[in-house]
A and B are shown apart, each in its own frame.
Chain A
Amino acid sequence: MSNNFAPGDSVKVRQTHPPGHRRTPYYIRGKVGQIERVCGDFPNPEELAYGFDGLPKKTLYRVRFRQKDVWENYSGAETDTVDVDIYEHWLLPA
Chain B
Amino acid sequence: MAEERGAHEHNHDHDHDLTFQPNIEDSEPGQYELMTYAIRELLIEKDHLTSEELRVAQEKVESLERSDGSKVIAKAWTDPDYKQRLLDDGNGALAELGIDAGAAKMTVVENTEEVQNVVVCTLCSCYPRAVLGMPPDWYRSKSYRSRVVIEPREVLKEFGTVLPESKTVRVHDSLADLRYLVIPQRPEGTDDWNEEQLAAVVTRDTMVGVTNPSVS
A residues with CB within 8 A of B: 23-25, 27-28, 39-40, 42, 45, 60, 62, 67, 70-71, 74-77, 79-87
Contact = CB atoms under 8 A, between A and B. Distances in A.
B170 A81 contact: yes
B59 to A, nearest CB: 26
Given A76-B169, A80-B169, A60 B176 contact: yes
B44 interface: no
Main secondary structure of the interface of A (DSSP, over half): mixed
Given A25-B122, A82-B173, A76 B151 contact: yes
A83 B150 CA distance: 13
B173 A39 contact: no
A76 B152 contact: yes
B173 A85 contact: yes
Given A23-B123, A25-B122, A76-B152, A83 B105 contact: no
B101 interface: no
B153 interface: yes
A63 to B, nearest CB: 10
A23 B123 CA distance: 8
Interface residues of B, number: 24
Nearest to A81: B170
Interface of B: 105, 107, 122-123, 149-154, 165-178
B165 A60 contact: no
A14 to B, nearest CB: 15
Nearest to A45: B176
B168 A77 contact: yes
28 contacts: A24-B175, A25-B122, A25-B123, A28-B173, A42-B105, A42-B176, A42-B177, A45-B176, A60-B176, A60-B177, A62-B107, A71-B150, A76-B153, A76-B165, A77-B168, A79-B168, A80-B153, A80-B169, A80-B170, A82-B149, A83-B171, A83-B173, A84-B173, A84-B175, A85-B174, A85-B176, A85-B177, A86-B175
A83 B176 CA distance: 13
A91 to B, nearest CB: 13
A81 B153 contact: no
